[in-house]
Amino acid sequence: MASLYRELFDSGEQELGPIDRYKNEMIAHGRLAVLNSRRACMDAHDAKSITEMSPLVARRVMALSE
């Protein structure tokens, strides 16, 4: 329990704690999903812009972290 406390609250100014690392990872993963969602919405209102690669009709692929 003490080691968990240290990891959460005793990280230095330069070192990111686990919550900050998680937040940064989620922002990176979520960015692509938000951009694709926005493009799909725009394509849904403009049929001429729909292509095979449009997020509106393209197969969804989950980005896995390494």
Q: What is the pTM of this model?
A: 0.53
- The domains of the chain are located at 2-49
For residues 53 and 36, give the distance between their C-alpha atoms in angstroms, rounded to a whole number: 11
pLDDT digits (tens, 9 = 90+) for 32-49: 889 988 988 988 899 888
Name the pLDDT band for 64 (thresholds 50, 70, 90): low
pLDDT at 63: 59
From the list 7, 26, 34, the residue with the least C-alpha distance to 65 is: 26
